[in-house]
């Protein structure tokens, strides 16, 4: 392949570069990353639309230097929608005195453009922008992170317990793998308070820690995580981001944050059972459709 190639993507013309460059140790090239994001667009796009994106870029592959990009630079195409929001990210807080111009990925061409930048990972908020302003959260998320000595298998057991609590509270939980070691549990919500999702999630995580302190921690300190699953309730903070469902991960293999059925969660006994590569996810969506759809379509009032 030539070093620069012009392609059509949804009616737009883009110039792509270095398509044969390997981005993963198994030889997966940039062209294959672009192909994945192009084919997954119908399933991924509903969960990106309106959500400011933070990219994790790997220009020299997953074993090279990576960097996070929030601000959309001058090289972005003029047709790419952006939103300027005050806030310095999770470390500085949503009200920090910094204006960030975030990209909004709302069409095929935008995904192809991002993939061409080697933006393997797409991280999004639990809220959307409406009329250029931040709206109230419409997703609740629990990020289950396995500590040393545990795996996604232990996360699956915690996820089953979380499902029971959320269903009892009138929510419709959906599970996804993180594409790395853990998983997330989401629910579509309606709330009148930006702080309510974090408070609700923290209450549940703390209760789980008190009930089974040998299995679960709700404390961020890494020294407390050995042999336990950390329930990260803080991902509901309006300044934080979570890996988008259907996003690739910058790991040793082109794994994907993958929505899974609850039968799969209950049946998980080996980590490999909940590990999916890009090709697997394309097959799964062809067979099962969008397992994450209830988070967008079935929102329920967040319990007080």
Q: How many CA atoms lie within 13 A of 51 on its CB side?
A: 27
| Class of CATH domain 139-301 | alpha beta
Question: pLDDT per position in the chain (304 positions), as tens?
Answer: 458 899 999 999 999 999 999 999 999 999 999 999 999 999 999 999 999 999 999 999 999 999 999 999 889 999 999 999 987 555 555 556 789 999 999 999 999 999 999 999 999 999 999 999 999 999 999 999 999 999 999 999 999 999 999 999 999 999 999 999 999 999 999 999 999 999 999 999 999 999 999 999 999 888 788 999 999 999 999 999 999 999 999 999 999 999 999 999 999 999 999 999 999 999 999 999 999 999 999 999 999 8
Give the pTM: 0.95
Domain ranges of the chain: 4-126, 139-301
* Two structure tokens written together for 218: 């709700």
CATH topology of domain 4-126: DNA primase, PRIM domain (3.90.920)
């Amino acid at each position: 392949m030539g070093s620069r190639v012009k392609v059509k993507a949804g009616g737009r013309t883009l110039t792509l570069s270095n398509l044969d460059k390997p981005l993963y140790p198994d030889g997966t090239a940039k062209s294959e990353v672009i192909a994945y994001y192009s084919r997954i667009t119908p399933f991924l796009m509903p969960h990106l639309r309106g959500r400011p994106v933070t990219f994790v870029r790997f220009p020299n592959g997953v074993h090279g230097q990576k960097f996070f990009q929030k601000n959309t630079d001058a090289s972005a195409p003029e047709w790419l929608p952006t939103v300027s929001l005050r806030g310095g990210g999770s470390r500085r807080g949503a009200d920090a005195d910094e204006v960030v111009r975030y990209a909004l990925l709302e069409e095929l061409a935008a995904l192809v453009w991002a993939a061409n930048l080697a933006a393997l990972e797409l991280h999004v908020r639990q809220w959307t922008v409406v009329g250029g302003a931040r709206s109230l959260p419409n997703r609740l998320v629990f990020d289950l992170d396995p500590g040393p000595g545990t795996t996604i298998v232990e996360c699956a057991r915690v996820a089953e317990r979380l499902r029971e609590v959320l269903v009892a509270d009138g929510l419709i939980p959906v599970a996804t793998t993180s594409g790395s070691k853990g998983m997330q549990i989401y629910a579509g919500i309606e709330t009148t308070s930006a702080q309510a999702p974090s408070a609700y999630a923290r209450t549940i995580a703390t209760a789980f820690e008190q009930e089974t302190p040998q299995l679960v921690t709700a404390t961020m300190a890494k020294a407390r995580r050995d042999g336990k699953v950390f329930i990260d309730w803080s991902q509901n903070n309006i300044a934080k981001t979570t890996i988008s469902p259907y996003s690739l991960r910058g790991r040793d293999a082109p794994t994907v944050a993958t929505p899974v059925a609850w039968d799969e969660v209950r049946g998980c006994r080996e980590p490999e059972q909940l590990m999916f590569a890009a090709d697997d996810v394309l097959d799964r969506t062809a067979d099962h459709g969008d397992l994450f759809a209830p988070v967008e379509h079935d929102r329920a009032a967040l319990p007080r």
